[in-house]
Amino acid sequence: MKMSFVVPCLNEEKNIRDTINEILKVTKFRVFSDYEIIIVDDGSTDKTYLEIKNLMKNEKISSLRHKKNIGFGGAYKSGLKLSTGDYVIMVPGDNAHSSNEILKIIKLFGKADIIIPYTNSIGERNILRFLLSKTFTLIINSLFFLNVKYYNGLVLHKGNLIRDINIDTNGFAYQVFALVTLIKKGASVFNVQIEVKERKSGKSSALKFKNIIEVLLSIVKLRLKFLKINLK
């Protein structure tokens, strides 16, 4: 079984190396027979790509660089197109997940089509982001009549399923589109609780006003899409 790690990043010069090192620790447990790490630099303006080029001395690591920033979802989609694994897991380049937590998710491959990690504790995370995430999850579940624990993070997908759908957004709502679409198509889901740490350097752009608005508009668009399908 081959595992694809897709690592989207934007201005993570101080985090990307540690992120990849955590992934490499996971590979030593030999849960899978083969793997690839695909780093997607989404138009960084710092020295992120210089760090990536140094990391590519490892033949298992490849990269793609966007000339300009197109969005977190767009970076993930670019990585998906290059992936060849039986399973695909997205690991953000902000070093917010330890190898132990990544391993906890990967060990569950085969238990369901999609493995969804979630956290019930604030831990090291920003309390506002934690509360917004919980509210966001409640809204999505209510709109689409689902019972998913979390709509972001290190979701593990069967490769053929996630590569076969059109994720109609390049923003932070990409995982909502993917999960809702696949679950509505009949994909099975297993939720697993993990711990998340706060990034050591830099700031997340997830809570920027424009990104929150983009996510809300994307959700409305997705809801209207499913309403049209149900009316046919």
The CATH number of residue 135's host domain is 3.90.550.10
When pLDDT is cut at 50, 70 and 90, the band that residue 219 belongs to is confident
Reduced DSSP (H G I as helix, E B as strand, rest coil) percent helix, strand, coil of the chain, to 5: 40, 15, 45
C-alpha 5/C-alpha 155 separation (Å) is: 11
What count of other Cβ atoms lies within 10 Å of the Cβ of residue 156? 25
Residues 34-57, mean pLDDT to the nearest whole number? 96
- Total tally of structural domains belonging to the chain: 1
The alpha-carbon radius of gyration of the chain (Å, integer) is: 17
In the sheet that 2-9 helps form, which strands lie side by side, from edge to edge? Answer: 61-65, 34-41, 2-9, 87-90, 156-158, 114-118, 189-193
C-alpha 82/C-alpha 92 separation (Å) is: 17
Residues 177-189, mean pLDDT to the nearest whole number? 94
Q: Which residue has the higher pLDDT, 197 or 178?
A: 178
| Residue 199 near residue 96 (C-beta atoms within 8 A) | yes
What count of other Cβ atoms lies within 10 Å of the Cβ of residue 98? 16
pLDDT for the residue 167: 85
Tokens of 20: 């990849």
Tokens of 15: 């985090």
Residue 73 above 80 pLDDT? yes
Burial 1-39 (b: 16+ CB within 10 A, else e): eebbbbbbbbbbbbbbbbbbebbbebbeeeebeebbbbb
Burial of residue 128 (number of CB atoms within 10 Å: 0-12, 13-18, 19+) = exposed
Residues 118-130, mean pLDDT to the nearest whole number? 68
The 10s digit of each residue's pLDDT in 10-23 is: 999 999 999 999 99
Residue 51 above 70 pLDDT? yes
Q: What is the pTM of this model?
A: 0.88
Tokens of 230: 């149900």
Structural domain span for residue 187: 2-231
Of 156, 139, 219, 227, the residue nearest 191 (C-alpha):
156
Tokens of 229: 């399908």
Tokens of 208: 């920027």
Q: Which residue has the higher pLDDT, 129 or 57?
A: 57
Residues 118-143, mean pLDDT to the nearest whole number? 77
Residue 125 above 70 pLDDT? no
Query: Distances in Å between the alpha carbon of 217 and those of 41, 167, 223?
Result: 25, 15, 10
153: left (phi over 0), alpha (psi -120 to 50) or beta: left
